[in-house]
Structure 1
């Protein structure tokens, strides 16, 4: 069941402490996606988000998505430690709703040109709008069951054969489909579908990724040559449905 974020003008899928599983704009609002030309160190990135929202007269509670880039994948413990500091900032902003973090997130480690420190790549937020279209962001997810950060739950853990990667991709597609459904959306509403892996995807692209997307497969997917945020996770995806996307310098 979706949780309403009244101050932010969106509803979200309850996730785990560091992030929600996705967000959908409320009636009379739409989600706008912004990214930077180059990632910004996270501490400065938070201030850029706050400044951008203030500049368009939106409250910090309008923040509904964050996209991070890290120097390298974390260990599970390192990921938990990083998340603690990240959540402290959002809690300090007053963004947390009934002890739940409403902000969706994707965090990956580029294989080429990775930043030297955890950095902000992009973010999403709500604005007043007359659009009748549903706009949404689905948080990044790898081959782990919903709600788990247990390394023993990784699908085909430690395997990177073509068969294992195909099973991982199918599992993640299932997560994306379920999250879309919970947001009241579907693949046909997606405007951006992103894949994050350092492994080849060509063999599974048509049958396991594009065909399940239905009509939206015409738009293809964007493959980021990156690793998911935690060692031993090999494949991640996220999805957006936005009418407006902007680039910030």
Structure 2
């Protein structure tokens, strides 16, 4: 069920404490998605976001999406511990809606040249749409093969198995999550402009039938494959998606 965030001018799908499952801008508003050319530490990244929002004449509550990069996949408890610190920043900013975190998030670990500390990679925020004809914009949060999104190692699909058949099962589960979240946001495949896959394992044995054939009109946008691990040890495949009209690199 979509939950309104009236201060941020967007709706979100309830997730778990570290993140929501996705966000969609309200009518008359749109998401601006910003990727940092030179990532910075995640805490300094929030200062950067603060300065950017002030310059754009946007409130902090307009922040709706975060992308992080971590040095290596965390043990499950380490991931939980990091999330507590991260969520406290969001609470200090006044971004929680009652006890719910409305921001979508992706947090993954690059296999090539990983950072030495968690870094801010990208963020999205809400602005007034430039025209009444603007298409809906949305961000689907990152998800790996973790059943029901519950932070418990027992819920990892085919844990410890990265054989081609196991990777197919993992990818199929994650694609179902993407489909469910897209539907939950009231969105369509033709609205998407970026579809990301995060894994260090080959996908050529299943990318056609498990991923591409299910993208509908979004298939023409292609899939961005990142040589990157999900943020928790034992999770091997992750995806996120977005459909925005304005992308910035800074």
Structure 2 counterpart of 1:157: 159
Structure 2 counterpart of 1:47: 47
Structure 2 counterpart of 1:109: 109
Structure 1 counterpart of 2:126: 126
Change (3 A) 1:110 1:14: same
Structure 2 counterpart of 1:135: 137
What does 1:206-217 correspond to in 2, within 5 Å?
206-217=208-219
Say yes or no: does 1:92 pair with 2:129.
Answer: no
Q: 1:38 Cα deviation (Å)?
A: 2.0
TM-score normalised per structure 2? 0.98
Say yes or no: does 1:223 pair with 2:244.
Answer: no
Structure 1 counterpart of 2:178: 176
* Secondary structure of residue in 1 paired with 2:147: coil
Q: Once the two structures are superposed, what CA deviation does each residue of 1:87-141 show, in whole Å capped at 9, x if it has no partner? A: 0000000000011000000000000011110000000010000243110000000
* Secondary structure of residue in 2 paired with 1:95: coil
Structure 2 counterpart of 1:78: 78
* Secondary structure of residue in 1 paired with 2:43: helix
- Which of 160, 166, 169 is 2:168 aligned to? 166
- Verify the 8 A CA contact 1:39 1:115 in the aligned structure 2: no
Structure 2 counterpart of 1:192: 194
Q: 1:219 Cα deviation (Å)?
A: 1.3
Q: Once the two structures are superposed, what CA deviation does each residue of 1:42-63 show, in whole Å capped at 9, x if it has no partner? A: 1110101111111101011111
Q: 1:203 Cα deviation (Å)?
A: 1.5
> How big is the alpha-carbon RMSD for the aligned residues of Structure 1 and Structure 2?
0.8
Q: 1:146 Cα deviation (Å)?
A: 2.7
Q: Distance in 1 between matches of 2:136 and 2:66?
A: 19
Q: Once the two structures are superposed, what CA deviation does each residue of 1:162-210 show, in whole Å capped at 9, x if it has no partner? A: 0000010010000000000000112221110000001011111111111
TM-score normalised per structure 1? 0.98
Structure 2 counterpart of 1:234: 236
Q: Once the two structures are superposed, what CA deviation does each residue of 1:34-86 show, in whole Å capped at 9, x if it has no partner? A: 00112110111010111111110101111110000000000000000000000
Equivalenced residue count is: 248
